[in-house]
């Protein structure tokens, strides 16, 4: 089965790590930290023929899964049932989280690794001997460190879940003696210290005026391109003209994402554009409608349905414990967890920032914390029967919904892999001409995914996306005599610069000619035509000053 990337973000980060963006392996992956990017760049320096970026994500996904599965099996007392329980759980786990492994996405991976840290912390025996306690502190800290460095915001999103679970555990077994309370506090201190050390290293690694300027610019780019979009030019003509943006500039950036070459696209101008049409908060009624729609949506299946069944199973046990055994602790745990999940869901929906990579991260956190809660239950025969019924329902749901969904994912990956060969062969073409640098049209690269092959020597630059302005990409531009890509005459008169467009009716160079025509008289010439094995062909264009 082919493993692909869910979004192009991972592709760009892979290309930074393996050296295709700057000309040499680099650990500045922009959205990932020092302890993730720097070791990966070292691995790529050893050998670029291995896809270390994907391997690293898969390693932590598998390791985290093994830890969870082992903890579940350990809970089973009778040896005869351990194998059966292990097999059933592995099947459910694999089907439920199939997309995490088949379509890698760094935010989801970070949430997965961080959820392992939360899961493991909730299962720590607070009264274990000192050596085991230190071992557990180290293991939790390692997973926190890795998660934070893959994608810091993904880990921070888990704080409400971690806080709810840990507070529930403290209420259940804490407040008894000084040693117990110190251990609860020490785990929190250890995690905070790990985050502080990591953040200090990240700030040092991304230090310098170039990085400060780019990261601020990148934040504004995200606000505009991911959320607010571009308001109509004619309606806001006066405002656009105040930031130096002509109608031609507007069309070039709004329709073709021509960021790399535009001098009037900067942090200040993007703030102005965002303020024209800020992403306002969603009304309360719409929040409820969106909440129901997202919680039942096909995109998040089967994990959303599996999580709901776990909620029902845990809630039934908690209610019976309260009524029959006068034990309220599981109900308190679930109430705290439910409050945390609702607060996160409502906030993210209210702010309008809930793509599927975020919803999957939320469900993964719930899945891990609920599983930890069920493991912590002291089982009698009745509770065991409830868990058996719950497990049967989860298995049936996972198979009924998850297997067809997995089949669709496999089909999607086959298509992604097939069509992404066009990009691979484009990079091969660039590698055969290392003296040139190829500017890639943003709308011509929709069918790309994980790179499987090494393309040493290829020099490319993205006209759009989140790379323009990045110091890593600027290294490649500087090597080809382009100190400032917005200095248009230097670019046009540079004989090593070529533009690449997919051969289709909607990906033409006309917008680029119109853009340059504002500054000087230009012409274009098709200098080469690249046919690829999947039928997506590229036109290699030279644009020059007359």
- Give, in order, the Cα–Cα distances in Å from 146 to each of 115, 161, 203: 11, 18, 16
**85-116 core/surface letters (b: 16 or more CB in 10 A; e: else):** beeebeebbebbbbbbbbbbbbbbbbbbbbbb
State the pTM of this model.
Answer: 0.95
The residue with tokens 């507070």 is 167
Helix (H) or strand (E) holding 525: strand 522-530
Tokens (6 digits) for 390: 């719950």
CA–CA dist 439, 9 (Å, integer): 18
CB 463 within 8 A of CB 6: no
CA–CA dist 168, 339 (Å, integer): 12
- In terms of C-beta density within 10 A (0-12 exposed, 13-18 middle, 19 or more buried), how is residue 4 classed? buried
The residue with tokens 């200090």 is 200
- In degrees and rounded to multiples of 5, residue 391 shows phi and psi of -65, -40
| Cα Rg of the chain, angstroms | 26
Could you tell me the end-to-end alpha-carbon distance of the chain, in angstroms, rounded to an integer? Answer: 51
CB 221 within 8 A of CB 270: yes
Q: What percent of the chain has pLDDT over 70?
A: 98
Helix (H, G, I), strand (E, B) or coil at 286: helix
Helix (H) or strand (E) holding 501: strand 497-502
Structure confidence at residue 176 (pLDDT) = 67
- Give, in order, the Cα–Cα distances in Å from 303 to each of 309, 359, 361, 402: 10, 10, 10, 8
CA–CA dist 83, 77 (Å, integer): 11
Identify which of 472, 507, 477 has the alpha carbon closest to the alpha carbon of residue 491. Answer: 477
Helix (H, G, I), strand (E, B) or coil at 397: helix
Structure confidence at residue 169 (pLDDT) = 82
- Give, in order, the Cα–Cα distances in Å from 29 to each of 35, 40, 119, 233, 411: 11, 10, 28, 34, 29
Structure confidence at residue 466 (pLDDT) = 92
Tokens (6 digits) for 542: 């030279």
DSSP code of residue 244: T
Residues of the chain with pLDDT under 70: 1, 174-176, 278-284
The residue with tokens 């599981």 is 330
CB 315 within 8 A of CB 390: no
Structure confidence at residue 173 (pLDDT) = 75
Helix (H, G, I), strand (E, B) or coil at 504: strand
Domain boundaries, the chain: 51-204+296-415, 209-276, 423-545
Structure confidence at residue 284 (pLDDT) = 65
Tens of pLDDT, residue by residue over 203-230, are 999 999 999 999 999 999 988 888 888 9
| Strand ranges (E), 253-398 | none
User: Per-residue DSSP letters for 435-475?
Assistant: T-EEEEPGGG--S-----S--TT--EEESSSS-TT-HHHHH
Structure confidence at residue 85 (pLDDT) = 85
Identify which of 420, 416, 501 has the alpha carbon closest to the alpha carbon of residue 463. Answer: 501
452-455 long-range Cβ contacts below 8 angstroms, 24+ apart: 452/51, 452/424, 453/424, 453/427, 453/428, 454/18, 454/48, 454/49, 455/20, 455/424, 455/427, 455/428, 455/430, 455/431
Query: Counting runs of H as helices and runs of E as strands, what totals does the chain give?
Result: 24, 7
Helix (H) or strand (E) holding 115: helix 106-122
Structure confidence at residue 280 (pLDDT) = 57
Tokens (6 digits) for 172: 């259940």
């Amino acid at each position: 089965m082919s493993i692909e990337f869910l979004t192009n973000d991972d592709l760009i980060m892979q290309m930074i790590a393996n050296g295709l963006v700057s000309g040499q392996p680099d650990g500045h992956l922009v959205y990932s930290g020092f302890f993730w990017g720097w070791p990966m760049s070292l691995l790529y320096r050893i050998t670029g023929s291995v896809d270390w970026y994907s391997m690293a994500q898969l390693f932590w996904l598998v390791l985290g899964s093994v830890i969870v599965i082992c903890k579940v099996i350990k809970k089973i007392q009778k040896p005869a049932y351990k194998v059966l329980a292990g097999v059933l759980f592995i099947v459910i786990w694999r089907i439920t989280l199939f997309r995490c492994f088949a379509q890698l996405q760094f935010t989801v991976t970070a949430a997965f690794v961080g959820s392992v840290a939360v899961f493991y912390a909730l299962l720590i025996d607070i009264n274990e001997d000192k050596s085991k306690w230190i071992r557990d502190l180290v293991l939790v800290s390692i997973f926190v460190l890795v998660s934070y460095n893959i994608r810091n915001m993904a880990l921070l999103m888990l704080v409400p879940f971690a806080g709810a679970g840990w507070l529930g555990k403290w209420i259940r077994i804490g407040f008894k003696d000084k040693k117990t309370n110190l251990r609860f506090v020490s785990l929190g201190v250890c995690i905070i210290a790990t985050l502080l050390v990591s953040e200090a290293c990240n700030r040092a690694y991304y230090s310098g005026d170039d990085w400060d300027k780019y990261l601020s610019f990148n934040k504004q780019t995200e606000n505009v391109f991911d959320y607010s979009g571009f308001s109509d030019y004619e309606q806001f003509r006066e405002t656009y003209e105040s930031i130096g943006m002509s109608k031609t500039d507007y069309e070039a950036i709004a329709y073709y994402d021509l960021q790399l070459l535009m001098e009037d696209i900067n942090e200040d101008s993007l703030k102005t554009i965002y303020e024209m049409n800020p992403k306002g908060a969603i009304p309360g009624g719409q929040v409820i409608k969106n909440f129901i729609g997202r919680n039942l949506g096909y995109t998040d299946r089967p994990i959303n349905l599996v999580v709901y069944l776990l909620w029902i199973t845990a809630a039934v046990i908690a209610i019976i414990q309260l009524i029959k055994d006068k034990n309220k602790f599981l109900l308190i745990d679930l109430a705290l967890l439910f409050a945390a999940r609702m607060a996160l869901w409502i906030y993210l929906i209210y702010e309008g920032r809930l793509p599927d990579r975020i919803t999957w991260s939320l469900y993964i956190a719930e899945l891990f914390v609920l599983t930890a809660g069920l493991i912590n239950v002291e089982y009698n025969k009745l509770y065991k029967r409830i868990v058996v019924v719950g497990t049967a329902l989860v298995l049936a749901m996972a198979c009924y919904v998850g297997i067809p969904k997995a089949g669709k994912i496999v089909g999607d990956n086959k298509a992604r892999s097939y069509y992404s060969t066009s990009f691979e062969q484009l990079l091969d073409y660039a590698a055969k001409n290392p003296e040139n640098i190829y500017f890639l049209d943003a709308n011509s690269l929709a069918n790309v995914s994980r790179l499987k092959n090494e393309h040493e020597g290829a020099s490319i630059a993205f006209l759009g996306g989140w790379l323009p302005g990045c110091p890593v990409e600027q290294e490649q531009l500087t090597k080809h005599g382009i100190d400032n890509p917005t200095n248009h005459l230097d670019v046009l008169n540079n004989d090593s610069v070529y533009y690449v467009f997919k051969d289709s009716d909607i990906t033409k160079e006309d917008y680029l000619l119109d853009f340059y025509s504002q500054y000087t008289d230009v012409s274009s010439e098709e200098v080469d035509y690249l046919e690829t094995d999947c039928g997506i062909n590229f036109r290699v264009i030279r644009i020059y000053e007359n």
